[in-house]
Amino acid sequence: MAFYLRGTNVPHRKNTLNKPVVRIPCPKTVTIPMSMHIGKQSIPTVKVGDLVKVGTKIGEADGYISANTYSSVSGKVVKLDEYLMYSGTTSTAVVIEADGEMTLDDSLKAPVINDNKDLVAAIKDAGIVGLGGAGFPTHVKFDVDPSRIEYLIINGAECEPHVTSDSVTMMTRADDMAYALSSLNRYLGIEKVIIGIENNKKDAILNMKEMAQSLTNFSVEVKTLPSLYPQGGEKVLVYHTTGRVIPTNKLPIDVGCVVINCTTLATIGSYLKTGIPLVEKCVTVDGGAVKNPQNVIAPIGTAVGDLFDFCGGLCEEPEKLIYGGPMMGITFPNTDSPVLKNTNAVLALTKKEAKLPKTTACIRCGACTNTCPFGLAPASISKAYDNKDIEALKELSVDTCMECGCCSFVCPANRPLVQKNKLAKELLRQEKMKGESK
């Protein structure tokens, strides 16, 4: 690559990287929301009193951009409840009392695949969504004319502090990943695969290189990238692996690329092998308030509190609970909240860790624009947003913002820059809707 996009050095804090991955014992109950993805929430297919097993479908995808939901334990449905999601919206959640047996549903079997349509259908059936955090239904990405896909890019960058669950996937699930890659090669004709990994994950890189060598029918390249946040941002990764620029408001497929997270890939592989849909997640449990941080494999729907208890409990009252990493993760209000499909980490930050400096006046130092991977001018965007200047916001191309948070992170005045960017994007969206309804 001729040059790398800008970014910022965030602390690594990969405390859990070299610790063994442990499976949590079956929790007493799981709470499985019908909305763990981008798109329409799935429609519950069970009622209170129904007996379910691991892999029993409990929610049917509602339309194209949606995903199936499966029970992650065996037991009895005890409640169908309106559940307040971290996003502030509500979703129906199925609460299942586990019998502790973890019996697999008898109907589960490896899907039969003959062509690209079958493969896309299988990925949809498995309820697989983007597991890096976004939760975008994965089948949609592959449901294109296969000739359009020139590169498959596997996101193993994992640039957020604390989070190591993707690294663990790359270190322990190479066989699942290889199986998925072979199928994608066979049925979608994908010839070129690039796995992008930050250079602070040596073991993952070694393991992936070994896997790449074992796949001889097509090209698999492991690309070591500098540890510079946000290396795992989709557009950043595509640029750094292929040199291609994804235009604003366009998708990777528009430049011939499909990007999926490495854990998503592994999940596709295990489904194709066994027919067991997405029912469990490897979750990094970390943060200063957690006594024994580690990666835990947990059934989807497990209460975060159960994870903390399993990791030795909390050594102090956490100030913030976060799904995902501290740069882009989303806070949630209490430890009853469940592990979702797209949960790659849960963090319990102490008061000290979560302390942010006071916001003061902008000193026009330019740190925000000089750290923005896309060359945006966050301070100017903030000003334009405060003035509700729609034209200026368009001119400043705020829609390009991926909300990585570098600007706010480096701002010496700790101004809410990325936060204003988000508001500005929302403002433009509303203006556009107003314009369309006229």
User: Is there binding between residue 356 and another protein (CB under 8 A)?
Assistant: yes
**Beta strands per DSSP E along 199-241:** 219-225
Stretch that binds another protein, among 38-46, 136-144, 191-199, 359-367 (CB under 8 A): 359-367
Nearer to another protein, 239 or 310 (CB): 239
230 cis-preceded (ω within 30 degrees of 0):
yes
Q: Choose which of 375, 387, 426, 429 interacts with another protein (CB under 8 A).
A: 375
User: Which residues between 144 and 203 bind another protein (CB under 8 A)?
Assistant: 161
The answer to whether 7 and 198 have CB atoms below 8 angstroms apart is no
Nearer to another protein, 106 or 317 (CB): 317
Q: What is the DSSP letter of 116?
A: H
Q: Choose which of 51, 144, 419, 428 interacts with another protein (CB under 8 A).
A: 419
Nearer to another protein, 100 or 375 (CB): 375
Stretch that binds another protein, among 22-30, 254-262, 294-302, 427-435 (CB under 8 A): 254-262
Token pair of 411 as six digits: 């701002």
User: Is there binding between residue 8 and another protein (CB under 8 A)?
Assistant: yes
Report CA-CA distances (Å) from 75 to 26, 28, 97, 347, 393: 11, 10, 5, 29, 52
User: Which residues between 299 and 318 bind another protein (CB under 8 A)?
Assistant: 305, 317-318
Place of tokens 């067991």: 276
Q: Choose which of 67, 171, 195, 354 interacts with another protein (CB under 8 A).
A: 354
User: Which residues between 319 and 348 bind another protein (CB under 8 A)?
Assistant: 319-322, 326-336
Token pair of 352 as six digits: 């000290």
Token pair of 105 as six digits: 């549903």
For the CA atoms of 226, 324, 222, 258, what is the dihedral angle to 10 degrees?
A: -110
Q: What is the DSSP letter of 291?
A: S
Nearer to another protein, 110 or 363 (CB): 363
Give min distance, CB of 257 to another protein, in A. 11
User: Is there binding between residue 391 and another protein (CB under 8 A)?
Assistant: no
Nearer to another protein, 217 or 387 (CB): 387
Token pair of 139 as six digits: 């089948």
Q: What phi-psi label fits residue 102: left (phi over 0), alpha (psi between -120 and 50 degrees) or beta?
A: left
